[in-house]
Structure 1
């Protein structure tokens, strides 16, 4: 049917013709189709108009009418309205929700991060004695939501309830649980579940294997990645770029870059094209081994292969260049990066600032700071610390630092803390106290990071009574919080 949104006016026009006097009266199925079309083109509010017309035509809706409406509300994160529809509106209209209605709402809860509500609804369904017995899709939805929230034990509890209810777990169920276990580092349990899966005559898919490969690699338990890849291929599955990336990443961390390059060649020979993550992984491994020139060659190769570098690519190379003191090359790379449409972020500028400050190129660092602020990029705590270490004894840059804090401080608590540290390093205790006062006025939550530098300096100055007062203020603030 092509792009449905282009047919939207035609659908409505046809529907209106049907609804005209003396025309063919739309039935429930017609309304259902029209409501579904409206939600697919993000016109959820219009579905309520259609629902009103359906009721005006004295038609009795069925759950098929409400399902697309529920999907649209959940997609737009209007979960409260969706729940009211299921628990209140539908029963009042003589249309009790069915399994699909409940499953749709459960999926909406999970997508909105309300997994506890989804679990509660699933348990109600289980407790209704089979009236709305959940199916494998319902269970998979909640199990996936729980695993994403790292509540794997709760997910297993639901998994164990499936069999007594006559619901057979499928490949998705097992893959989801294996993924949850791998993220927790429970690789042995994940492997046991894989064996259990095989005993149930369920075939793992490439997603299952990718999860295991990634988990095994991160735990450094995969002695011979090649054998596992051969096994995956033997089982009839084609390893994809995710599979290879996990293995290549593991090899690079073990500084086995030659093996990593062999796997890269193998993946290409099997028709799997490397992506930006593949190249970034290899370049990062080389840079950590102080092989910057080799990494630069890989950058040229990825560009020649039509793979566009991203912000991570440039950050890896820039960091390595800065460590070697090649700040001019970093500035060239920054220009190249911008020309390719990759916008620098706070990490980019912080990396460059760190390199410039390390090389004592303070004028270039000041220019970098101004450029960063002009682009609306707020410094992070690492940026502030670099600036303070390099410039806190320099009056003109101290003014830049103060202006930066005034521009960004209300949005960034670390900016104020950094300014306090800068004043303390300069011996300006009164200025540091003023910044502390400003933090309070901004309504930001104070912690030990703000008080500690001032307290230390007061002790050094012999102002013990003032130091005690400061501690009292801090304790009073904690009590208020």
Structure 2
């Protein structure tokens, strides 16, 4: 057995044993420590050692030990074990102590994913050192294993997410020694983004300079990350300059590039220039996204330029550029909050005609705004259009409009709404029926009211005889009152 895990392993002997040799001293004598295991901080606890050794004997001694059989064991047996799952690196290390065995990229990749995903970064560092000293044997000769870069890409990304940038650089330098040619632009992007997320924009720029010196061509993701960094660090002009440099270098900006700059312009309180950038985006042929529209509308509303936001959204809609998924609820809220529900109603109607259907929240907000401003007829019309288009309101909003109709003496129209809503999946509740019954009571329509009371009874909305009698008495009184009024008119 080897005394040091990081020492390069010898090539397999010409005559490898067909079966796994006796697992001593590791398995047969648990009290005798194995030198390779002593390199790592996590040694199986004494109470777990004998169980772990028995587990290994059960699943690994009946077949030749190869990277494939070891990987199968790690994936299907050890990984799901409630006690031994975190001893996978010890098993990996134990396997490397046999002269006839060599790990390949499959076990390297599995081990890297296991350690990185569980944040065991000290052991991950040891694994990288081991890989550097014992390269994958699948590509003999002058060429390296093609799976090394994907492996290190995952490792570097995991380390950057954990804000361990020094370890990520160690992994990067280790990878450069093991791969053929230069690292891909993706690796550089991961590190640049890692520095940016950790708040060290200076080092992100430094690594970009290194990328250029390594003659690795940056892509749109590289530029977008750095432009975002400039904007977030109060250096918008530098970000704009990099945007121009990006186009000069033949890298085509995408929607993220423009979104970042538009958002940066709003941070600089340059709303008009942000709108100009949006139209430049159109001329460039870059397709709008819902995020673009949200940035523009929210930015203009924050600058108290709600009217400009309305004109912009309508113009985009007329040009056929407004994404169908864009929810203009924020614009409706701002207009209603200003007491300008009429303008909100106009905007919603025009966008709706052009195919930009409002969300349920937008419609509900607008209905409340119209009711507050006394435009109840517009609210009724909006509710009817909603129902016909399959936008089903919540019961509270619906019942409020039902009450408004009944208060205007239009209980028959309210009942038509009830029937239409039922066909769209909105079943009336006890409040709905009560509003209608009392509406018929005021209108002197006893027959229609009695039909609704019977429906309430069938649906269990009348809990006792007292409630039933109260409703019927109300309808009777309304009938008597109506007859008296008719008699007075005839006289």
Query: TM-score, normalising length from structure 2?
Result: 0.49
Q: Considering fraction of residues, name the structure with more helix.
A: 1
Relative contact order, higher structure (CA 8 A, sep 6+)? 2
Query: TM-score, normalising length from structure 1?
Result: 0.50
